[in-house]
Structure 1
């Protein structure tokens, strides 16, 4: 897994609609305006991948109508600060993922966000909350492998989860490095009162990371053995691979 570069938390907020594209055999063939999504999806065999950032209720309602998204999933998508989870409906899934990035102030503070994912036949809709970390690099990477992107929604969900989990490792490495430095100060006799405060905040950040990561173990385990047509057997090993990485965190 390869860490992807991310925007700092001080970057300007993006617009609500980040991307809305149709794919045929893994190749992008059209940028689809939001008002046209429903007709385009119903009257073609193309795969649709829509990326949103903190959408308004009317925009999310339009997306719901276009793809027939479940009411309970839409209700969840309006609410941030959720734990990672997987909800399975008749012919669709809703996944909540926690994103994390280091703030740009050099203090090794973590900023958390969320990505909500709607997955259904020939579509994936991602809704980002909080974090300004973009998925553009992920989409570009997927588009560079049309033979994999042609697998559709199952592949995109895996790629997204793999991408988000990748971001955890450099953060944990940075926190561990700082923890080692603080311990060295304590045992070398250069301990100052500010170290106590930093240790407290570091412990809090590590606990928050654990809360973001631990529920993913169950989510990925369920996906790796899913019988849903959205996750075909040839995609399940990819989820198992991400699961194995998360277990090691």
Structure 2
């Protein structure tokens, strides 16, 4: 099995520990992981802001960089959703405008091979107990793209429930958006901050030590609110919890 890590811009620039944890986890499970250095942005920010035509070169680049891999795994529901949901839309529009079928061929090849991390673990590798150890209380925030677009369902929770030493606490209003939404947070900062504050308050009410998520962008948004207020709750990506073991515990 030849697997490529699609690291995403946020993890590459801000949260490299999440990418490292993803590789550690997959390699522990016997997966050979490559990191294609030519990867860049998937185009989500451009697409969501309305620059649809400008996203097309990034679709081509993604197709070229990840060509030949059996699977492409990313620790980000939003970036996985961008490829799986929006690349076909971009391709259809290009074809409808008479600009050929190249993008459709790229999407047709790439889309079936792209997996969010919890999907890959549960659906492809067929595991929920990954041998993790994390002796802390945790509450889980299901990001909108994972919940509504990818339909991750209970996969992340099943993985967390199998972690030795971990106590999972229910998050009130778990299905409510945290308010980040990529460029939504830039265009509507007051609304975004209010939504994030509500989500942070709900997480704090659980009494958990750690707020877990499967998308670093949501954790960045909520972590900023928690840090500014001096709250003790610590945001942490799912990959970092699953990569933690008794021999190599998360610091």
TM-score normalised over the length of structure 2:
0.29
The structure carrying a bigger strand percent of its residues is: 1
Bigger Rg, structure 1 or 2: 1
Higher helix share: 2
